[in-house]
Chains A and B, each alone.
Chain A
Amino acid sequence: MKTFIQVKDAELSYGSKKVLDRLNLEIREGEVLAIIGPNGAGKSTLIDVILGLKKLDRGTVVRSLDDLKGAIGVQFQTPTFFPGLGAYDNVKLFAAVNGKAASREEIEEVLEQCHLQDAARTDAYRLSGGQQKRLAIAIALIHRPRLLILDEPTAALDPSARSEIKSMIASLAESGISVVFTSHDMSEVKRLADRIAFIMNGRVRAEGTLDELLASYGTDDLDELYALMLEKGRVRV
């Protein structure tokens, strides 16, 4: 399996606080990688580093994707869109900034993929929380990326909206797009992830497939596994 991005011995501090501490992680082609860990563990910072938005104090990020800007689609924690524009126009605008003159069919296809066809003309500001998250994902998808990075795609959503987004991510993964997502929702991780990286205090403390991690911690319950990882936090599969 080809490695898209490799983070090696990453170190980054904000003042005296070490946010990333000799962190190592690989993102591979065709897989769904879940990055989990408590709040403040360094997950969002790691995403910024992967995207080249933050520079490391030490360590390297090797990106083997050709045309990085065209190859990655991103959804940040706060839904990103322009108020005053509907879902359709927002997708069209972000396609344009990515150098793509998206056709009506292409935009409608992405909106349908994200279950937003009925909200195409609604001002993005007036969409529900779940719809705004889906719009952010539609914006990330319009330039046909090979790698999709989603930062807490289901956070602060009701169960029905969560379920819709989970189904969407599953179908995107099935279509061959590599996905990296952060989450606190273990059922989401269980359903979607091929591989899990548990981060705490800026370091990957455990990494592997769900079965490997469960076996390693001697449990068959994912929530219990998470609690154990938090408690021990140092075992690496």
Chain B
Amino acid sequence: MIRSVMALMAKSIYKDAYMLVWSILLPLGLFIGLGMYHDGASYRADLLVASMLLSLVMGAINTSGFWTMTQRRRGVFKLLKLSRLPISQFILCSILARLLMFVGIAALLLLAGFLLFDMRISAVGLMLVLALLIIGSVCFTSIGYAIASRARDEGMMNMMSTVVSFPMIFLSTGFYSLDQAPRWIQFLSKLNPFEYAVRIGRSAMAGAVDVPSLAILVAFAVVCAGIAIRTFRVE
């Protein structure tokens, strides 16, 4: 039953135009575009990680949140509450279906890096990237669900998810260094789960584990999932 639900959910999610633009075309274009103008192998590796995580954050917070709110307004969750499948399992199916897509996009970016810029990643690095995508999916999708529970309509959802996701990306070292940034920005970046995901990703590209960042991201994921479950609204 779960497998069938997940497969059909994935089919539904993959046809989402927002997902196509925000999670596939934008990160891929950004990686290839910026990568072609910067020769440094180190910068390209950082760019690859940032592009992967951009795809994850936009897909998990913006697209997933929007999708959740739309389904709620349509009464899908009310109908699910009357079904045999617990809503928690349905949400898990949707997170897993999206995770499959994020893994696919990450593979596409890695392939682009290999073909265009001769980039390499070790088997250990690949496993670490996979772990990052799993933890990141739970963390950022939970944020998307929590926002969707607060939003009253599509316009509000759009505004709230943008207000959350864009500062996450800008207040991180994903695309640029924050060494010269004001202290308060540096401080805010330390409260930002995206920043820890970036650090984990960079270490993974080098085949190493950033244990403190991993622990912090796991803690963020647990807290965000807890908030998402507590605040989840059927209607």
Contact = CB atoms under 8 A, between A and B. Distances in A.
B5 A97 contact: yes
B130 interface: no
B75 interface: yes
Interface in A68-96: 69-70, 72, 74, 76-85, 89, 92-94, 96
B167 to A, nearest CB: 29
A101 B12 contact: no
B117 to A, nearest CB: 34
Nearest to B8: A93
A76 B75 contact: yes
A96 B74 contact: no
Interface in B1-28: 1, 4-5, 8-9, 11-16
A53 B81 contact: yes
B82 A51 contact: yes
How big is the B interface, by class?
20 to 34
B215 interface: no
B83 A94 contact: yes
A101 to B, nearest CB: 7
Interface in B61-118: 70-71, 73-76, 78-85, 90
B74 A89 contact: no
A78 B12 contact: no
Given A53-B234, A85-B8, A69 B74 contact: no
B4 A84 contact: no
A78 B74 contact: yes
Interface in B167-221: none
A12 B78 CA distance: 19
Contacts of B4: 92-93, 96, 101
A123 interface: yes
A98 interface: yes
Given A92-B4, A93-B5, A69 B16 contact: no
Contact of B83 (A48, A79, A85, A97): A97
A97 B15 contact: no
A230 B208 CA distance: 74
Interface string B29-55: 000000000000000000000000000
Nearest to B85: A97
Contacts of A84: 11-16
A159 interface: no
Contact of B84 (A48, A83, A99): A99
A72 B11 contact: no
Given A81-B74, A84-B13, A84-B14, A69 B8 contact: no
Nearest to A125: B15
Contacts of B75: 76-78, 80
B85 A53 contact: no
B67 to A, nearest CB: 9
Nearest to A89: B8
Interface string A36-74: 000000000000100111000000000000000110101
Interface of A: 48, 51-53, 69-70, 72, 74, 76-85, 89, 92-94, 96-99, 101, 123, 139
Interface of B: 1, 4-5, 8-9, 11-16, 70-71, 73-76, 78-85, 90, 234-235
29 contacts: A48-B78, A53-B234, A53-B235, A69-B82, A70-B84, A72-B82, A76-B75, A76-B78, A78-B73, A79-B74, A80-B78, A81-B74, A82-B71, A82-B76, A83-B12, A83-B15, A84-B11, A84-B14, A85-B8, A85-B12, A85-B15, A89-B8, A94-B83, A96-B1, A96-B85, A97-B1, A98-B84, A99-B83, A139-B79
Given A72-B82, A83-B70, 17 more contacts: A53-B82, A69-B82, A69-B83, A74-B79, A76-B79, A79-B74, A81-B74, A82-B71, A83-B15, A84-B15, A85-B8, A89-B8, A89-B12, A93-B12, A99-B1, A99-B83, A123-B15
